[in-house]
Amino acid sequence: MDYCVKFCVNDEPVELTVSGSETLLHVLREKLGYTGTKEGCGAGECGACTIIMDGQAVNACLVLAPEANGKVITTVEGLAHGDELSPLQESFIDHAALQCGFCTPGMLMSAEAMLRENPHPTREEINRNMSGNLCRCTGYKKIVEAIEDVIAKGVYEK
């Protein structure tokens, strides 16, 4: 069965027809061209496809496309402002918190969602929040340091 869905991605309204069995990950990548959202495991275990939907970090591979109807979605492409990277993206670069880069979009989105909700998480809270995102290259030390640097700069203060 097909569904007409309307939602917003990175401040852009979207209206399209989707299959009831189609994932939001597929729609974002294949129909809308947001290829920063990666498919790793396809089972919600690696975090590579993490996006922010209505303020919450979710695995896009586990969301059926019709569930996105009426939602506000941010992908990694929505973190930058034009050609200017977000402070979190800059911090990942400054701290060499990436190597192959495959997990980086999901890491950024999980960290972004956490910091929007809690601009001063403890290291334990950071580790717990990031535990759903797997990295095979860097380990996690530099990723945590990049997040802590953004916290120290007060970027997410309300």
pLDDT digits (tens, 9 = 90+) for 100-111: 899 999 999 999
Q: What pLDDT is recorded for position 11?
A: 97
Residue by residue, DSSP assigns 84-136 as BPPHHHHHHHHTT--SS-SSHHHHHHHHHHHHHH-SS--HHHHHHHHTT---S
Question: What domains can you pick out in the chain, each with its CATH number?
Answer: 2-78 (3.10.20.30), 87-152 (1.10.150.120)
Question: To which residue do tokens 């909700």 refer?
Answer: 117
Question: The whole model's pTM is what?
Answer: 0.95
Q: How confident is the model at residue 117 (pLDDT cuts 50, 70, 90)?
A: very high
The predicted model gives 122-151 an average pLDDT of 94
Of 110, 145, 142, the C-alpha closest to 128 is 110
The predicted model gives 77-87 an average pLDDT of 96
% of the chain with per-residue pLDDT over 90:
94
pLDDT tops 80 at residue 35 = yes
